[in-house]
Homo-oligomer: A and B are copies of this chain.
Amino acid sequence: MGQRGRQKGSVGVKSKEAILTIAAEEFAEHGFHETKISTIVKKAGLTQPSFYLYFSSKEAIFQELIHTFHHKLIHLTKNSRIEPNLDKNILASKIARGLISIFKFFDDHRHLTKIGFFIADEAEEIKRGMVAHITENLLAEQQDKYFRQDLNMQIVAECIIGAIERLTITKLFTNESTPQQLANEIVDIYLYGLQNTES
């Protein structure tokens, strides 16, 4: 089991991963321009040229991180299609489950999330993708009469993404709320509205 001297995690791979991890940290905390290659390699215990052994440029590693984030996010999204024929209670919990998985994902990948969802120029595009996906789901459910017929679901999707965005920064990354709590609150707010229906 495992060849001698060639086990996964060989030195080079480790160095590359170290650089990636540290770069994610630095980019997340300081943004693209304020992050220096010199800092990254120093923290990784390497010298500058080593960086270029693994990445062709500062842009390249940044893009790689964005790509990783986007890729994982898409993967997540694919496995979360809502199946039809649910009653209303199940719908709520179903939506909540989707939101939980997103918040959990963000929570598990805080650095990547900061980079790909907040810092990168591509963040806008990534969000557009999520909005499209959510819109699609909402429309299906709207057609099945679970939702009001007079709502513009794209606008709704934008609102939800905006809510996710804000809560991720202010509640999730500050450890003030858990993914579950956030998901439930969003469902509660968006499904039933603010209005006091008990006279």
A49 at the interface (CB under 8 A from B): no
Copies of this protein in the complex? 4
Chain A interface residue count: which class?
A: 35 or more
Q: Mark interface residues in A183-199 (1 if CB within 8 Å of B CB, else 0).
A: 00110111111111111
Instruction: Check A193/B190 contact, CB under 8 A, given A158-B170, A169-B124, A171-B155.
Output: yes
Inter-chain contact B188/A189, CB cutoff 8 Å = no
Shortest CB-to-CB span from A184 to chain B, Å, is 10
Given known A147-B196, A193-B191, A194-B191, contact A155–B169 (CB-CB < 8 A): no
The docked-state distance in angstroms from the alpha carbon of A136 to that of B52 is 52
Residue of B nearest to A157 (CB): B166
Q: Are A194 and B147 in contact (CB under 8 A)?
A: yes
Q: Which of A115-153 contact B (CB under 8 A)?
A: 124, 127-128, 131, 138, 145-152
Residues on A lying within 8 angstroms of B by beta carbon are 32-33, 88, 124, 127-128, 131, 138, 145-152, 155-156, 158-159, 161-167, 169-171, 182, 185-186, 188-199
